[in-house]
Structure 1
Amino acid sequence: MTVISSTNNPLYFIGQGDWEVPDPNDVSNDEGLIALSWELNPEMYDRLYPYGIFPWFEQEGVVFWFSPEVRSITATDQVKIAKSMRPYINGRKWRFSVNTAFEQVLEKCSAVDRPGQAGTWITEKFHENFMALHREGKGYSFEVWDGEELVGGTFGVITGAVFVGESMFHTQTNASKYAYIGMCQYLEAHGVIAVDNQLPTEHLDRLGAMNIDREEFLEVMLHHAGLVSEDATIPRSDNYRLSL
């Protein structure tokens, strides 16, 4: 593993040759940037996600990996259902499915215009790797349908009993919330204890996410992530009913 900084808390270059996983606490900047790589492949996700190190974006072919001080995490049995969401669940306005349209969800997430972002972080390199993880049984999607139209969804990667959420989208109001609630309920039913949201947002806070420091987050990962337990099995479903 190549060190490319002369500070006491170095920045690492990973993914080539015989590389080691950086210490996730070995961060010397406020943003949590810990490593860079030219490559992005499923092995890197397998080795780095249990330590909470994730790739945030790619710039000029370089992938930037982060280990932020503050993390957002949702216990799957603690997801919050606002009153405004109850009519959607009771009325079964939408159909919720699991892992039936992974690439569609991925493409919809990459096409969303997000405030303060120029373009998408889901570049071709990220797209190829998420598809590879999906083929390996590690990448999963959760979809919301209005008839035959995909109106909301989210996707991510499983590591042990923790699901790492990557992105979500909606084309109808509240469809991404519906996807997130359904995801948590379905994951809980299949042995997943938490969703690693990576970064805090007010939207996730309203859905039951907790913001915790890196040390506490790593304790969760130490006990439940892929290094200490087999990946949870998340079966495909064409029509899962959410509950209040």
Structure 2
Amino acid sequence: MYYVDKDLFFPPVSEADEDGILAIGGDLNSERLQLAYKSGIFPWFNEGEPILWWSPDPRMVLFLDELVVSKSMRTILKRNQFKVTFNQNFADVISNCQKIKRDGQTGTWISNEMIDAYCKLNKEGIAKSVEVWQDEILVGGLYGIDLGHVFCGESMFSKVSNASKVAFIVLVNYLKEENYKLLDCQVYNPHLESLGCREIDRDDFMSILKSK
């Protein structure tokens, strides 16, 4: 396993172990994070532990034309019961992603250090958020890294039913209109699969990531 030092360098993603861990250590400064995402790598670690850098194989992605919107979700969207904004309240979105309770999880990987780092990326126009409002209250949203042709989703939250799905669907429709190539969802989970996401070989993901 590669140990990250002060140099801005990551080894080829092909050197990741079978779990997808490529490197350990380093920091979360803006330059390193941008290099990581552009190289198909992302940080994921527990608070108080060294930073782990991942590039899993296979990779969970959504090809934008493959988005699955259920009949019930179409009805919810038509009702306009939610208001959706882009990049209007990034700090509150990532904070809610940190605090929201999730089934099967006792803690969160979104540390205060990560919040500070991604809020800085937001100010630099790299990290972006989608906010979902109901009666002027933030009830759902998501955030990720915008590479211009690929959006790397990081986390989402929902305080009322379907709010995070609304954020996801609205984001995908926007990315499709803007001719993005895909939405990177990193690792498998059944909720993402229900929305049309699927796993592809890391080599295929890297080919798309490197093409502009």
TM-score range, shorter chain: over 0.9
Offset of residue 19 of structure 1: 4.1
Is the counterpart of residue 104 in structure 1 residue 92 in structure 2? yes
Q: Please state whether the residue corresponding to 1:25 is helix, strand or coil.
A: helix
Higher helix share: 2
Q: Please state whether the residue corresponding to 1:196 is helix, strand or coil.
A: strand
Query: Is the 8 Å Cα contact of residues 77 and 184 (structure 1) preserved in structure 2?
Result: no
Is the counterpart of residue 160 in structure 1 residue 156 in structure 2? no
Q: Please state whether the residue corresponding to 1:180 is helix, strand or coil.
A: helix
Change (3 A) 1:44 1:222: same
TM-score, normalisation: structure 2: 0.94
Query: Is the 8 Å Cα contact of residues 47 and 109 (structure 2) preserved in structure 1?
Result: no
TM-score, normalisation: structure 1: 0.83
Which residue number in structure 2 is paired with residue 116 of structure 1? Answer: 104
Q: Please state whether the residue corresponding to 2:45 is helix, strand or coil.
A: strand
Which residue number in structure 1 is paired with residue 189 of structure 2? Answer: 201
Which residue number in structure 1 is paired with residue 4 of structure 2? Answer: 14
> Which AA in structure 1 matches 2:196?
G
Query: Is the 8 Å Cα contact of residues 15 and 37 (structure 1) preserved in structure 2?
Result: yes
Q: Distance in 1 between matches of 2:104 and 2:115?
A: 21
Change (3 A) 1:150 1:65: same
Which residue number in structure 1 is paired with residue 12 of structure 2? Answer: 23
Offset of residue 21 of structure 1: 1.9
Change (3 A) 1:136 1:214: same
Query: Is the 8 Å Cα contact of residues 59 and 186 (structure 2) preserved in structure 1?
Result: yes
Q: Pick the aligned partner of 2:199 from 206, 211, 215.
A: 211
Q: Please state whether the residue corresponding to 2:80 is helix, strand or coil.
A: coil
Q: Kindly, what percent of the aligned residue pairs are identical?
A: 35
Is the counterpart of residue 33 in structure 1 residue 21 in structure 2? yes
Alignment of 1:48-87 (within 5 A): 48-87=36-75
Larger gyration radius, structure 1 or structure 2: 1
* Long gaps (5+) in structure 2: none
Query: Is the 8 Å Cα contact of residues 77 and 193 (structure 1) preserved in structure 2?
Result: no
Change (3 A) 1:46 1:15: farther
Q: Distance in 2 between matches of 1:153 and 1:88?
A: 16
Q: Distance in 2 between matches of 1:126 and 1:132?
A: 10
Is the counterpart of residue 134 in structure 1 residue 122 in structure 2? yes
**Matched residue count:** 212
Cα RMSD (Å) of the superposition? 1.4
* Long gaps (5+) in structure 1: 1-10, 225-244
> Which AA in structure 2 matches 1:14?
V
Q: Distance in 2 between matches of 1:124 and 1:19?
A: 23
Q: Distance in 2 between matches of 1:160 and 1:56?
A: 22
> Which AA in structure 1 matches 2:58?
V
Offset of residue 116 of structure 1: 3.0
Runs of 4+ in 1 over 4 A off after TM superposition: none
